Amino acid sequence: MEEYERLKELVEAAADDVAKAEGGNKAAGTRVRKQMQDIKSAAQEVRKKILEVRSAGE
């Protein structure tokens, strides 16, 4: 599923900035918060797609 792959890519892309933010880098923390918003949106798209697939199967 394309939407799920995008979600995985977003999570992987955030990994470096998460480590930097844990080290106290404030700019990295800001980037992580932005990336988390993108991840949240991507997760919602996955949820929506799953519902479409489930509804089509009924």
Half-sphere exposure of 43 (CA within 13 A, CB side): 7
pTM of the model: 0.86
* Domain, as residue range, for 49: 2-57
Q: What are the phi and psi torsion angles at 23 (to 5°)?
A: -80, 0
How is residue 45 written in tokens? Answer: 């798209």
4-55, pLDDT tens digit by residue? Answer: 999 999 999 999 999 999 999 999 999 999 999 999 999 999 999 999 999 9
For the chain, the domain total comes to 1
User: Do 57 and 18 touch, CB atoms closer than 8 A?
Assistant: no
User: Do 43 and 14 touch, CB atoms closer than 8 A?
Assistant: no
> What sign has the CA pseudo-torsion 39, 45, 47, 49?
negative
